[in-house]
Amino acid sequence: MVRGFLTAGIPDELCVSTEGAEEFLEIRASRRKPDWTPPRTVKYRDTFYRLEDSSMGSAPRPYRYRLRRLSAGVMSRTVLVYTPEQEPVVSKK
C-alpha cells in the first residue's frame, strides 16, 4: 500500500526507439494499466500501436509496456486510448 502511495504522483515516462525500420514506444508507469495485455491495440495521440509486451522493472516506474507503431489504417475491434493523467516525461533511446 505504501508503495502505491509513494508512486501515485509520478508521471509516466515514454521512451521512443527504433530497430531497423520499426518504431517502438516504451511506457514506464508507476501504476498498472488495467486491460493492457498483449496483443491489444493502443492509440496515443493520433498514432496506433500494438502492445507487444508488458513486464516489471524497477521503481519508481515498475510497470513497462512495449508498443510497436502500426501503419495507418490498421483495424481492431477494441482500441485502448492512452491519455496520461499528467504530462509524461519523454526520453529517446
**41/82 Cα distance (integer angstroms):** 10
| Structural domains in the chain (count) | 1
Boundaries of domain holding 85: 2-92
The yes-or-no verdict on residue 86 having pLDDT over 80 is: yes
The confidence score (pLDDT) of residue 78 equals 87
**pLDDT tens-place string over residues 12-63:** 999 999 999 999 999 999 999 999 999 999 999 999 999 999 999 999 999 9
Nearest partner of 7 among 27, 34, 30, 24, judged by Cα: 30
Query: Per residue in 10-36, is it b (16+ CB within 10 Å) or e — as a string?
Result: bebbbbeeeeeeeebbbbbbbeebeeb
The yes-or-no verdict on residue 5 having pLDDT over 90 is: no
The yes-or-no verdict on residue 76 having pLDDT over 90 is: no
The confidence score (pLDDT) of residue 68 equals 97
For the residues 74-90, what does the mean pLDDT come to?
88
